[in-house]
Each structure stands twice: as structure tokens, then as C-alpha cells.
Chains A and B, each alone.
Chain A
Amino acid sequence: MHKADKKRVVVIGGGAAGLEAAGQLARAGCIVTLLEKESETGGHVKNWYHLFPDIRNSDEVLKYLVRQADHGNITVRTGVTAGSLEKNGKSVIVKTSRGERIISDAVVLATGFDLFDSRRKEEYGYDIYHNVISSADLEVMFREGSVKRHDGEIPQRIGFVHCVGSRDSKVNNLYCSKLCCVTAVKQAMEIKKHIENARVYCFYMDMRMGGALYEELYKESQESYGIVYIRGKVSEVSDNIDSRLIVKVEDTLAGRPLRMELDMLVLMAGMEMSESGMRLAESSDLQTAENRFFAPADHHFGSNRSNMDGVFYAGTCTAPMNITDTISHARAVVADVTDYFRNINA
């Protein structure tokens, strides 16, 4: 008999990482319980429209993920939150919000990330000025097929502010969220597809195009879509009497302050450790890093292992990552979990 056969694994979180990990564990012979705090699985992917770098419809990825977790060995339980983890001999007991104690042989945490709440950067005016929206709000507009200002007008001049809630010690997030740069490039191009004559500007500190085909997408956005990139971090936003937005920024390459009037401003919200992950870390003594994400046991060869025997990590609960990397990380956790079963049985 294979060592993973009939072992009970609880996967906490039903986003990309949790669905993929559950599917792979089930195929390895484990009996999986997947806990999802929302009423349905899918996580952040279900709010997205198109995905970089190939502009594929996110529904395709969602369908794949849901199909992965559609397996006889998997019980999906929605509306259930994991309260804490407790070791009992070799087992890990998961206490749920409903007062249950689920006994398992291993637990995979796939608690994911929360999008940065842009209201915390008050100087950008999210939730103060009507036409300052977040990158997530824009995806919803794309999904609904209509990009409009609050007054119903089609915006002609649109700005993107990079690094909102990332690389910013004022909100206690020193780290780079990695995906917002390329998301801005993708969204800027999508705007041009929706509004042909729109003028689109990206305000950035550094263009971090470190993923497969990101730089190519960036170049295409300049060449074929005419997106204008201005190097400088927006310091503040105000509005004028016609409810047009005025951004203040230094064009650091020209070496002069620049002022611009826009119809709509999109804030590229970064990724933060999820609140549910944070609660688990506190209640169960799981180690977190300086950036508040779960600290993996080893940066090079233990990125799926935690400081607690039998408890593993998958996906963005350990660091910001894109969907490709999340799925890879979720697949990798199966190797660590089955290794663990082999060792405790030996």
C-alpha cells in the first residue's frame, strides 16, 4: 500500500492553491477535507477578468481548479473557518468555527492573501473621490463590459498608480507585491480595448517585469497601445470642481514636478497576508516573517513546510505569487506531505 493511502489531510482555503493541492493529494490517495470560509470556492480568481501574460479568460483557470477538486476523495465544506490547529501525538486537530474538531494526519494551509485596502493610503482618495478605483474594481468593470466614471461618462484619460500598499513603510509593507506592475500593464492595454481613444498613463517607481513574457507585454503596451509610462510615485491626489482628478508626481527622469488632470485613477492594490492566516498564526504558534506572511521552514528546500510537524503551506500565504507559481507551489506541497507520511510510518 502506498504510504499516503487513506491518510486524512485537511486543506484550509479553497482558492487556487487549496483547490490544486486538494486535487493532487486526492490523486495520491489521501482523504481530503477542504475548508473554505466563503460560500463558494475559487478565491480571488473568480473576481478576475483576464489573466497575464496571455490575456486568457480567468474562467478557464477557475474551471480547471474546480475540476481538480472534483474527486471522490475530496469533501468540500464551504462557510467553515479554521480557528486553530493543535498537535495530538502524530495527528493535527483542526478546530473549526462551528466548534468541530477535525482529526487529521496532516494539514495544508492555503489561506492565501488579502488585497491591500486602498483606503489606508488616504492621500490617494480611495472612497473619498468617486473616480479613484482599485485594480480589483476595474476587473469587475471589465467583467461587466463597461468602464465608466461615477457620473456615467466614458473616461478618456486614465492613470494607474503602481505600488499602492507595496514598498511603502508608511503602511508597514516594505515588500514588493510582484504582480501589480504586470497587472497595470495588462489593465492599461485592456482599457485601450474598451475605450479606443483613451490616453493611459502608468506612474511607477520601477517596472518589475520579472516573470515569463512580462517584459514582452510591457513593450507591446508601449508599441501597439501607446501606453505612457512616467517614472515617479504619486504623492497625492485631489479633485477639481468638475470632479476631474489631479495627481501630483515628480517626473523623476525629467527631473521636474508634473501635474496632470485625469478622468479616472486606478490604484494597483498590493497583496497582504490574509486576516484568516494571521489569526491561525496567532492561535497556533505558526511562525511568520517580517512581511507577516507565513515563514517557510527553509527558503530554498522547505518553502512548503512550517515550524509545526505535519503542517504545510501552499501558495500566497507564504509570499505574493502569481497563479502559475501558486499552482506549482500547491503541487509541490504534495511531495512534502507524502514524504512526511513515509517518514512517520518508517
Chain B
Amino acid sequence: MEGFGFSVLKERHINYDANDKSIAEYIAEREPSFRTCIECGCCSATCTTGAFTNFSLRELQILLKRGENEIAREQISKCMLCGKCILVCPRGVNTRNVILLAREAFRKLMKNEV
């Protein structure tokens, strides 16, 4: 059937049941404020990295929670740890610590330096 012109597209669903949420769990256990994000986007709005690259801290956190770890891992080294996001977060999430813990989790759980 080579060259017939049709192919089956990979589904783009988040495979929630199969996805590995261990990174998010590792963070939440050590930094419970991680669970309280309401997706307002304040952190991303004020983020210097986000202004120049496609880094979004809000998106990164939700990706980890959904177990989309590979996409998150590509992004996570972009953060410069300046901490402006902590100042603006209305839920008081310690976002800087979330990033540090995420890097630690990837190192320990995935045996994979970010």
C-alpha cells in the first residue's frame, strides 16, 4: 500500500489515564501550594522569559499536572528563577520552588537532567 496517499494520524488527546503524573505528585507533596493554581496567568504575564520565548509558567504547571512531562521538560530550563511570578500570584503559589522541585524530580525520578 506504499504511496497510497492516506495515513492514520496520531490522536492528539491528553492520554490522562496512561500519563505519568509522578513529577506533579513529587512537587505537590513538597510544595502543596502547587495544587492551588487557578490558571489566571499572572505569572506568565509578568515573566521576562515568557516575553521573549514560548515559555509559559502557567502552561508548564498544567502540563505537569496532566502528565505531559516531555513537553514540560523541554521548557523547564528556560526559567531564570527571578521569582517575579511569586510576587504576582493571587493564590500565593511558591512558583520558584515549583520549578526547583520539578528540576529535582526530573533528575531523581526520570534519571534525566533537565
A residues lining the B interface (CB < 8 Å): 123, 163, 167-170, 205-206, 231-236, 248-252, 255-258
Contact = CB atoms under 8 A, between A and B. Distances in A.
B45 A233 contact: yes
29 contacts: A167-B38, A169-B92, A170-B92, A205-B38, A205-B40, A206-B38, A232-B45, A233-B45, A234-B42, A234-B45, A235-B42, A235-B43, A235-B45, A235-B46, A235-B88, A249-B45, A250-B42, A250-B43, A250-B44, A250-B45, A250-B50, A250-B58, A252-B40, A252-B41, A252-B44, A255-B59, A257-B44, A257-B50, A257-B51
Contacts of B42: 232-235, 250
Contacts of A249: 41, 45
B88 A250 contact: no
Contacts of A231: 41
A253 to B, nearest CB: 9
A93 B106 CA distance: 65
Given A232-B41, A234-B45, A255-B59, 7 more contacts: A163-B90, A169-B92, A170-B89, A206-B38, A234-B42, A250-B42, A250-B56
Contacts, number: 64
B46 A248 contact: yes
Interface string B15-58: 00000000000000000000000111111111100110010101
A167 B89 CA distance: 11
A169 B45 contact: no
A260 to B, nearest CB: 11
Contacts of B41: 231-233, 249-252
A155 B89 CA distance: 30
A340 to B, nearest CB: 41
Contacts of A236: 45-46, 88
Contact of A168 (B44, B47, B90): B90
